[in-house]
């Protein structure tokens, strides 16, 4: 089966792409609006992009022509945002933050979430998040009339005590418990992992007996 993307309607492309590119990490993004309202909303067109410089990417759709989502508008206006990671305990609150509250409403109170101060940017992180990245806008690409690609530079990371070993920076998955987005209303937990040790060319040849 083969699909020509130029023959598919946008909604069909969305369905295929979001079903095939799984699981996707979820950024629960906090920003501050022009009136000082703290906004929080989930974005799964999200990933880390490079580490030097340390960049993350968000794909933000518009609600309609000329109507940005609060997150896109706030990042455009202030140049700052925080990516809060979503663990199993935070999943239900994350879903409340996806409600299309008007810009003057903060999602924090309805979702039962609390702000904690950031150090390098004005938007707070979420006290309930297992980890968070303080980000400064690196570039904002306007992709047609309907969406923006936000590239952010990570200035600082917060991780809850006990998740990362400070000496080795190794992460304890059982304590992190992140959720991933699948498609539609489906999400996943990380329950079963396996190891594939990466080899160099010489080792790979030696294993074959070359």
Question: At closest approach, how far in Å is the CB of 26 from ligand FMN?
Answer: 5
Question: At closest approach, how far in Å is the CB of 204 from ligand FMN?
Answer: 38
Query: Is residue 8 a contact point for ligand FMN (CB under 6 A)?
Result: no
CA distance 36 to 25: 28
Q: Which is nearer to ligand FMN, 32 or 159 (CB)?
A: 32
| Tokens coding 21 | 């590119």
Phi-psi region of 77 (alpha: psi -120 to 50; beta: other; left: phi over 0): alpha
CA distance 70 to 198: 42
Q: Which is nearer to ligand FMN, 15 or 164 (CB)?
A: 15
| Tokens coding 89 | 């305990």
Query: Is residue 43 a contact point for ligand FMN (CB under 6 A)?
Result: yes
| 5 DSSP assignment | G
Q: Is the peptide bond before 53 cis (omega within 30 degrees of 0)?
A: yes
Query: Is residue 87 a contact point for ligand FMN (CB under 6 A)?
Result: no
Residue of 42, 124, 130, 178 interacting with ligand FMN (CB under 6 A): 42
Part of the chain binding ligand FMN (CB under 6 A), chosen from 8-16, 47-55, 56-64, 199-207: 56-64
Query: Is residue 26 a contact point for ligand FMN (CB under 6 A)?
Result: yes
């Amino acid at each position: 089966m083969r699909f020509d993307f130029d023959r598919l309607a946008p909604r069909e492309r969305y369905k295929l792409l979001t079903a095939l590119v799984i699981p996707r990490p979820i950024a629960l993004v906090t920003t501050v609006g022009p009136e000082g309202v703290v906004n929080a909303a989930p974005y799964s067109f999200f990933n880390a992009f490079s580490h030097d410089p340390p960049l993350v990417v968000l794909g933000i759709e518009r609600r309609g022509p000329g109507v940005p989502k609060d997150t896109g508008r706030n990042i455009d206006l202030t140049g700052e945002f925080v990516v809060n990671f979503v663990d199993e305990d935070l999943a239900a609150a994350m879903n409340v933050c996806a409600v299309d509250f008007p810009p003057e409403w903060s999602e924090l109170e309805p979702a039962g979430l609390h702000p904690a101060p950031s150090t390098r940017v004005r938007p707070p992180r979420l006290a309930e998040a297992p980890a968070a990245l303080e980000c400064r806008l690196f570039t904002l690409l306007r992709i047609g009339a309907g969406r923006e690609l936000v590239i952010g530079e990570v200035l600082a990371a917060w991780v809850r005590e006990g998740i990362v070993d400070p000496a080795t920076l190794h992460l304890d998955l059982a304590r992190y418990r992140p959720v991933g987005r699948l498609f539609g209303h489906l999400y996943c937990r990380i329950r079963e992992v396996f190891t594939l040790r990466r080899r160099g060319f010489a080792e790979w040849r030696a294993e074959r007996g070359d």
